Amino acid sequence: MSCIQTIQDYALRSIGFGERLLPKTDFTLCEHFTLIGSGMIWNIYFGIMAMVTGFFLATALAVGKASPNKWLRKPAEWFIFLFRGSPLFIQFFFAYFFFLSLKKAYPMFDAFTSAWLGALIVLFLNTSAYSGEIFYGALRSIPKGDIEAADAYGMTGWARFRRIVWPTMLRLAWPAYTNEAIFVFQSTTLVFFSAFPAWQQRGDALYYASYFADKTFNPFIPYPILAFYFILLTLVIVWGFGRVNKRLNRHLPAAHRSKMRFRLNLAR
């Protein structure tokens, strides 16, 4: 079977198009690359959706945590502690079984037990908490002069937040936020290894990589391919976030612009 044929059969396998059965014997390198790449669709879907939705909640959480009002601050603090203080792996398990019991009582929660929604909700809440903490840190390090200048111009409330506080917060938080984005994409590999079932063997990249490793008992081919895809993805993220970083810093004199550091944090 030619490689073109394999790509036609398996490139969209992870979302249910193409050949129904996975290859069983005599795995070619082409099959490895195609199926694991096909699984990346899920990783990218989870990553992008969680980042986009999480961004808004993260902003709200950061503002909440920095608020002087106890009724706003305490819930935000607890939310962030809850999701940052426990392993994502356990959160997936808990959420899945929680949705499962919810489904028993109310059938309308059916969709929540499948990965595309249930796991996405967990990832959304999890990344909101981590990004919220990053944004909160940035919020606290906004230069005092910026706020005072806004006050001097008579800006208050929403206008001050939208025009001064929020852009500065994003600018300061951006390098750390890039790091968080990389972590979110990496933690999407946990989804199908926690309780969420891969329906009809439609899984993510790691799911297929471990499928190959289990079948061939040779970890030295599928995992490096997976690593290749993820390093590629990481480079794309760093590039994309670097573009945004440039835009966020465009008003600053060239010497003051914070260059995106490529020495990124290892730990979340």
Closer residue to another protein, CB minimum distance, 88 or 260: 88
DSSP, res 232? H
215 near another protein, rule: CB under 8 A: yes
Closer residue to another protein, CB minimum distance, 168 or 187: 187
Q: What angle do CA 65, 70, 74 make, to 5 degrees?
A: 55
187 near another protein, rule: CB under 8 A: yes
What distance in Å separates the CA atoms of residue 27 and residue 30, rounded to the nearest whole number?
Answer: 8
75 near another protein, rule: CB under 8 A: no
Residues 220-249: x where in contact with another protein by CB under 8 A, - otherwise, as a string: x--x--xx--xx--x---------------
Residue 112 near residue 102 (C-beta atoms within 8 A): yes
- For residue 146, the Cα-to-chain-centroid distance in whole angstroms is 31
Residue 260 near residue 177 (C-beta atoms within 8 A): no
213 near another protein, rule: CB under 8 A: yes
218 near another protein, rule: CB under 8 A: yes
What distance in Å separates the CA atoms of residue 23 and residue 9, rounded to the nearest whole number?
Answer: 10
What distance in Å separates the CA atoms of residue 83 and residue 78, rounded to the nearest whole number?
Answer: 9
- Contacting another protein within 101-120 (CB under 8 A): 101, 104
CB of 172 to another protein, least distance (A): 18
Helices 3-10 & 29-66 angle (0-180, nearest 10): 40
44 near another protein, rule: CB under 8 A: no
Q: Which spans of this chain sit near another protein (rule: CB under 8 A)?
A: 25, 81-82, 84-91, 93-94, 97-98, 100-101, 104, 186-187, 189-190, 193, 206, 209-210, 213, 215-220, 223, 226-227, 230-231, 234, 264, 266-268
